[in-house]
Structures are given as C-alpha cells and as structure tokens.
Amino acid sequence: MDIKKILAFLFFLCSLATGYSSVNDSLKISLITCSPGSQVYELFGHTGLRVQDVSRNVDVVFHYGVFSFNTPHFIYRFTKGETDYSIGLADFRDFVYNYAVRGSKVSELPLELTAEESKRVFQALIINNMPDNRIYRYNFLYDNCATRPRNVITENLSGQIQYKNPDEKVTFREMIHDCTHNYPWLTFGIDLALGAPLDRTISYEEQMFLPDVLMGAFEDARVVKGDSVRYLSGEPVLLLAADTMRMTSATVRPTGISPLFAASLLLSVVVIISVVEIIKRRHYRIVDTVLFSIYGLVGCLLFFLMFISTHPATYPNYSGFWANPFLLILPVIIWVKSMKKVVCYYHFINFAVLFCLLASWYWLPQQMNIAFLPLVLVLAVRSVTYIWVNRRKEKIAEKEIIEK
C-alpha cells in the first residue's frame, strides 16, 4: 500500500470510530470465500466481508477467526474449549495475496444491500473491531469465521432473509467428513473426540458453519419485506483460481497407513499373542499393562472433553465405553497376586460392557469410525483370553487335587 492509500486507510478508520454517518451509495459490501488449505485449521475454508468505499479509495476485508499459537497455554485452552479468537482487518489486496501464496481459490459474492443496510453492516463490523469487542470465545460449530459474518449481515437487513433450503438432510459429522476425507487420521481423531451430538440432523442455518455452504446459501437467498422480494446477492465472481500445483506442494501428504489398517494390524498381533497364551496356559501381563494403559490414557482425554471442556458435541460420547479412565485400574492390580480374583471379575465386567457395545453398534445414536471396531475387539479378546486361561488353570488345579 502506497502512502496515499495508507492515509486514506487511516482516515477511513477514523471515520468509522466517529460513527461514519456520511455513508452513501459508494459503499459496497461483499462476501469473500476462500477454499480450504493444507493445514488442519485451513481444511474448512475461510470467510471474510469485503468493504469498499470508492469515494475514499478504501478496500478492506473484515474476517473472524484470527488466532495465534503463541498465546499462553494455547494447547490446554484449545482442548478445554477456552480459545479466544479475534476479528481481523486487512487490506483487500493483502488478504487475497495471502491465499494466492498457498494456492487457494478466492471467490467474491457481491451483496445487493441498500445504502442503509450497508451502513448498518459497516457500523456493526466497526463495533465488533473495537478493542473491547474484537476478542471472542471461539466455537467451531456455532460461532466461527462463517457464522459471524452471516449474523452481521442477517441482523442488519431491513427485511427477513429466506433461504432456498436443500432437501438433503445431513449431520455435522457428515459435513466434517467431506472436508477431512483426504486426512483419515484427522477424521479418526475427530470421530474419537466428538460424540453423539455431532450426528443429529442439522438445519440449513447450522450447515452454514462451513464457508462454502454459507456462500451457496447467500447466492440463492432472498430478502422479503412485506410484498417486496429481492435477491440478497448478485453473481459470484472468481477473484483467484486455485493453483493445484502450489496446493499439492504445500499439502502434507497423509501416511499410507490408515487408522483401519493400523487397528486391524494391532488386532491381528493381539489375537496371535492371545492364542499363544491359551496354548501355553499363561498370561503375558505386560501385554495387558501396555494396552490397557494406552486405552486408559485415551479415555482420560475423552472424559476431560466430555465433563470438563466446554467444546460442543463432546457429550455424550459412546467411545467412552471402550476408552475410559477405569481401564487404568488393570495395569496396577494385574501385578498384585492377592488381586487375582478381582482381575478376573474386572475382565468379566469389561467383556460384558464391550459385548453390549458391539451388539448395539448399528443402533447407537453416534456414528462410530470403522477403525474403532478392531480397537474394541482388541480389549474384548484380551478379556476373553484372561478368563479362558484363568479358567483352564483352575480346572487343572482342581484335577490335580482330586488325583491326589
């Protein structure tokens, strides 16, 4: 930006701070939609609101969802659902350039707003960008970079907005899977962390948590006021075509080992070990110690998400039946000789829970990742093996007593 544009930009911001009461027809607002990138936080795309004032030679983009990994305790706060995001303000050309660098497509949807509506939207954005207001608590389903711009627009229309609702019924999980299908391990992690609320059928407004859906909704939307009906937007404009070569080079290629393959391989190894245990009539306690410890630690994370974090869609989570903190009991008591009967009862209870889970798998109100199935079977096999071997040992001991 040259010095004239910088001065114009500063004048523009000062005008906003004082109310910007001289808005006229030169003020234009449009929806900017950026296609997904290669990083995890880029996989769902991004939305911005472009504000143009030709008379003042100003062209900026307001966009929500700005964050920094350098924020103190970022990982813990993110896990707990207490991540604070902010609204960002950027020169339009700089904004588009950032997405050109990563090879993303950028589209613009001009909004057919009246001068008064444009003024109200503009003022709402300025109020949002004030120091006391610009920081907000992020919610990836209900309060994100797409839902906030939508709300700013719809809340400042002079009529009621009507969407052309699609006939297809979808869930949050199905929509998320559409964005993460090239990243099976990410899909696996999301399916593990997020529970049954992600699988309810959602309204069209709720589907707009994705930028592409929001743009499609605004394209077909109408504004109704009394007998007056008008389209919310004009024709979409392609500002920047996707650079597939740049996207390919920037994309982190997923490993060839899928979660299902890894889980199936683990199950195969566990079955082989268990067969050897049955043949030799002995327990390899270290195997159960390692397995149940890992599952138990994963369960601690799930219970943290369910009962402590404020993230949406984490409770209830039926994965808690096969990955829970109670599994950490076994690695301790299995090494105590006097607890042998307790260990046996523990495995009975564990197998009963897993059996009920597997029996109701198809009817659960939560879509389970297919890779979870072999992981559940791993624990079931270990419990059955312990019960079987223990029972065989008892029968042999009884037989020896009778023979004596």
**Once rounded to an integer, what is the mean pLDDT over residues 115-142?**
95
Encoded amino acid at 327, one letter: L
398: CB partners within 8 A, 6+ apart: none
* CA atoms of 107 and 134, how far apart (whole Å): 25
* CA atoms of 339 and 156, how far apart (whole Å): 67
pLDDT at residue 250 greater than cutoff 50: no
Tokens of 349: 């209870």
Chain segment 202-237, per-residue pLDDT in tens: 999 999 999 999 999 999 999 999 999 999 999 999
Q: Determine the pLDDT at residue 305.
A: 97
The residue among 181 and 244 whose pLDDT is bigger is 181
Share of the chain above pLDDT 90, in %: 78
Secondary structure of 373-388 in HEC code, one letter for each residue:
HHHHHHHHHHHHHHHH
What number of CA atoms fall less than 13 Å from residue 37's CA on the CB side?
17
Using 50, 70 and 90 to split pLDDT, how confident is the model at 1? very low
322: CB partners within 8 A, 6+ apart: 295, 353, 354, 357, 372, 375, 376, 379
Using 50, 70 and 90 to split pLDDT, how confident is the model at 372? very high
pLDDT at residue 253 greater than cutoff 70: no
Q: Where are the alpha helices (DSSP H) in 221-284?
A: 244-250, 259-280
* Mean per-residue pLDDT of the chain: 91
Q: Determine the pLDDT at residue 249.
A: 46
Distances (CA, A) of 190 to 41, 146, 160: 13, 20, 36
Helix (H, G, I), strand (E, B) or coil at 39: coil
**Angle at Cα 189 formed by Cα 40 and Cα 248, nearest 5°?**
35
Residue 317 CB burial class (10 angstroms; 0-12, 13-18, ≥19): buried
Using 50, 70 and 90 to split pLDDT, how confident is the model at 77? confident
Any idea which residue has 């991540």 for tokens?
Answer: 83
This model's pTM is above 0.85: yes
Distances (CA, A) of 215 to 249, 263, 348, 398: 27, 39, 53, 74
* CA atoms of 302 and 376, how far apart (whole Å): 15
All structural domains of the chain with their residue ranges: 3-250, 259-403
Q: Determine the pLDDT at residue 395.
A: 82
Mark 351-389 as b/e (b = at least 16 C-beta within 10 Å). Answer: bebbeebeeeeeeeebebbebbbbbbbbbbbbbbbbbeb
